[in-house]
Structure 1
Amino acid sequence: MCAIGAVSSLCICVALVAGCGGMSADATVEQDIARGLSDIQSVHDRKALQAKLTVLVAKLRRDQATSESTRHARALAIRGFAAKLESIAAEREFDENDSGEVAEATRDAARADAYRARADNLLRAAEQALHD
């Protein structure tokens, strides 16, 4: 009777482990996009956010989605996070290099705003693609 109980327990454990495999490719992409959006909202240090988004964009470029909507969302998210990185770079340049340089400060501020708007539009479209 103990042998049957041990075999049953072993079968249950094997079934649980087999069912607990890694996330699907689409779920990984969705999780990465959600993490990036969360980082944009919660990380206020530009250097830290720049580092996190750089790693995230590289990961999204490696990720493979299986569904058409997730592939589309991934492509939009890569472009959106890249635009956000450009916005952060312009903001940092404005803060770090433009003291007393009105023309350069104006140019960097405009660049940051343009990239921020582009990032917002692309990331909104990526979210929408995930929910289509």
Structure 2
Amino acid sequence: MSTLRYTKDHEWVRVEGATATIGITAYAQEQLGDVVFVELPAVGKQLEAGGDAAVVESVKAASEVYAPLAGEVVAVNQALVDTPALVNDDPTGEGWFMRLKLADPAAADALMDQAAYDAYVEGLH
């Protein structure tokens, strides 16, 4: 199994070859509360690292989901449209948002690993 990498905006990335699966972290979904709506990007859309990629709305707030890496959207998780609560139930599994064909797979190495992300989240409290 590949390793998850993380951003300071609380997105996770699982890189497998030249493809990355992206979602929001357990911490992010806990802060949002019950997710009620997810807006996903169109397949074929080019995303820039740090650019807007998706929107997630909860009973508390709406929040942007940013692209942790640059690439082309090759798949989106249509299940989230009908069942946005998957983000709460399984944020790093069934609650994934999109898959990208990466412009530069090595760019993922610059993202935080689990230990660094855990320390970052701990510092937020």
* TM-score w.r.t. length of structure 1: 0.25
Larger of the two Rg values belongs to structure? 1
Higher RCO (C-alpha 8 Å, min separation 6): 2
TM-score (normalizing by structure 2):
0.26
**Higher normalized helix content (fraction of residues):** 1
